[in-house]
Structure 1
Amino acid sequence: MRSRHRYRVRARHAQHARRPGLPIRQDVHGVTLNHARRGEGEPLLLIHGIGGEWRSWDPVMDRLAAERDVVAIDMPGFGASPPLATGLPPGARALAEAVAEFVRAEVSAGPIDVGGHSLGGWTALELAKLGVARRVTAVAPAGFWTRAEAAYGRMTLRWTAWIVRHAPGLLSRGYERPSTRALLASGQFGHPRRVDPDDLRRMGDALRGASGWDDTLRATTRGRFSGGAQVQVPVTILWGTRDRLLLPRQAARAEAEVPGAELIRLDGAGHFAHWDEPESVIGALLAPG
């Protein structure tokens, strides 16, 4: 059953240090949804994972914007978007309902293509169930875990958050040495030496500043994805073979639980497959529906 909470949207503009004029902030029933928008053409919505922000899509966004009207959001409680003000636990369904109202008000009245990473992938599948997505590309979507795997993911993310919050200086110095960077970032990336230290610092800043981190982590890892038969749109799932957060064996469950889904395994990629193998992810996002 759809939530009875409704979302009224009005726009206001904000400045961003790296990209003047971006992002744009939308007030959605007391929550400001921050997003960046680039390019022209058919709309393509991008949704980051837990602890992230819209710039999680930096490695692929400009290429996508050469062909599409790309809208990358900060989900409620992350980036520059405050948490949900509805009183609902911020699980994937509640997040999807807020994003759905934003899309209908500001992007398109009809269904659009949606790409999501991790929690964003789960949210994208929920958008398909809500009739907002006409096609979903999900990179390592969350929600296909066993109870033990959910506990492992929750523990891993809490440990990561503790380090980021309490030892930022140590991490920042460690990122400068390729060998140390490989050790520190191997849990997220299949090729951590390739990642720019400044990008890792920015990711740490985003996680440290995420007001919805604890509540969202708790709400999402207590449940799992269900209702795959309600997803009546084309779905492509990409999963790195070196994903150490959402383990690669979860990919087969995702393929089985979403009828008709296409599964693409990305050899050597980690959890952030759109950083490790951007060309493969771009190809999937731009593939004809």
Structure 2
Amino acid sequence: MPQGPARSAPAADPPTRPARLSATPLPHAGTLPPPWPGEQVPVRGGAVFVRRTPWAGPVDGGAAGAPRERALYVHGLGGASTNWTDLAALLAVRVDGWSLDLPGFGRSRPPARSSYSVRGHVRAVVDVLERVAAEPGEAAGRPVHLLGNSLGGLVSLAVAARRPDLVATLTLVSPAMPVRRVPRALSRTLLLLLLPGVPALAERRLSGVTPEQQVRGMVQACFGDPRRVPRERLEQALEEARERAGQPWATRALTRSMRGLITSYLRVGPGSAWRLARSLRPPTLVVWGDRDRLVDPALAPRLAAAVPGARLLVLPGVGHVAMLEAAEPVARAVLALAEDAAGERAAGDPARTP
């Protein structure tokens, strides 16, 4: 039989680049630090609560000439600025850290127009980034290291794509990237949230969940091994859940932000998340736990391959919140990214200078 024209094999994704881990000495993991203090910071349409983790310098005390940069941390859906307490304490050997509560979460009131779209969260993060970069001090006017988890990872990706001038490096911890298929257990519920009236019904049902049930469900869903969660952190999470239960907007912020996230998945063209990922310019680190139950770990190498020059760190036995469950290896990968980016900037590499 005559043969038809040969078909070319589909192009393979470029090989992923494994993350380097910094050898910089880190503080000893003794007592767990309490949540860092914070204040309300004005943004377009209102204000958000931002915590501050001060630079501590090298653990050996040789502060003279040591790098002092800045970082901003962005939490995920249903989370808060306190999700970054442990990682921020480790990274304080190099950076001053700021961690915000997205509008409607933590201690941040809802946005003025009650819009919880991804774009709305992006605007809030850009406003805080601009403020952090403009703070007086040694690193004033320089780009900021941006780190985001889950919804905060998707928001941070969009911020870095649209405002690369503000971002020194980008770290994405299990970012909520769009997928063609969602788990069967979630797909019907997620699609229902797009229907008129359904979010209000979801709010009523969520309002009946006790703080204890919320924390128990969060630990089971977000951690690869729930037994790793220190008792102090469980008690703090329960205290936060009780505080949040007294906020009349809490369940609305959760359901409407989930709806905004799903709506963003339907976006196509230049504004889609995967298109934005391919356009990223800042040095990027992708971090994932291989026991992530909320965002498929199979997306990790795909995202790392899509982002030009990205590094990939996959942590065995870890779940959705690697910065909480495996703070030290995440800190070492972030520090290595910052060290190498600083070296490239010093060498005048135009491809890596925002």
Normalised by the length of structure 1, the TM-score is: 0.78
Q: 2:175 aligns with which of 117, 135, 141?
A: 141
CA contact (8 A) 1:76 1:95 kept: yes
Q: 2:120 aligns with which of 86, 94, 98?
A: 94
Q: Matches of residues 169-180 of structure 1 in structure 2 within 5 Å?
A: 171=213
CA contact (8 A) 2:121 2:155 kept: yes
Q: 2:157 aligns with which of 125, 134, 143?
A: 125
Q: CA deviation at 1:144?
A: 3.6
* Match in the other structure for 1:215: 256
**Unaligned runs of at least 5 residues, structure 1:** 1-17, 176-180
Q: CA deviation at 1:86?
A: 5.4
Q: 1:247 aligns with which of 282, 291, 296?
A: 296
* Match in the other structure for 2:70: 43
Partners of 2:169 and 2:330 in 1: CA distance:
14
CA contact (8 A) 1:57 1:274 kept: yes
Counterpart of 1:185, as a letter, is V
Counterpart of 2:228, as a letter, is R
2:218 corresponds to 1:187: no
Counterpart of 1:119, as a letter, is L
SS state at 2:147 partner: strand
Note the aligned Cα RMSD (angstroms). 3.1
Partners of 1:84 and 1:275 in 2: CA distance:
27
Q: Aligned residue pairs: how many?
A: 262
CA contact (8 A) 1:118 1:140 kept: yes
Question: Structure 1 residues 19 and 241, CA, compared in 2 at 3 Å: closer, same or farther?
Answer: closer
CA contact (8 A) 1:51 1:206 kept: no
Q: CA deviation at 1:216?
A: 1.0
Partners of 1:36 and 1:212 in 2: CA distance:
20
Partners of 1:206 and 1:280 in 2: CA distance:
31
Q: CA deviation at 1:57?
A: 1.0
Question: Structure 1 residues 273 and 106, CA, compared in 2 at 3 Å: closer, same or farther?
Answer: closer
Which structure's CA Rg is the greater one?
2
Partners of 1:154 and 1:114 in 2: CA distance:
33
Deviations 1:27-56 (A, max 9, x none): 223311111112232111111111111101
Q: 1:84 aligns with which of 94, 111, 122?
A: 111
Normalised by the length of structure 2, the TM-score is: 0.65
Partners of 1:221 and 1:151 in 2: CA distance:
15
Partners of 1:117 and 1:206 in 2: CA distance:
22
Counterpart of 2:91, as a letter, is L
Q: CA deviation at 1:65?
A: 2.1
Q: CA deviation at 1:218?
A: 0.2
Deviations 1:91-148 (A, max 9, x none): 3333122211222134334421111111111111112112221210111011242243
Question: Structure 1 residues 170 and 75, CA, compared in 2 at 3 Å: closer, same or farther?
Answer: closer
Counterpart of 1:122, as a letter, is L
Partners of 1:71 and 1:32 in 2: CA distance:
15
Partners of 2:102 and 2:218 in 1: CA distance:
26
SS state at 2:145 partner: strand
Q: CA deviation at 1:251?
A: 1.5
Q: CA deviation at 1:261?
A: 1.6
Q: CA deviation at 1:155?
A: 4.1
* Match in the other structure for 2:208: 166
CA contact (8 A) 2:42 2:48 kept: yes
CA contact (8 A) 2:122 2:158 kept: yes
Identity %: 29
Q: Matches of residues 4-15 of structure 1 in structure 2 within 5 Å?
A: none
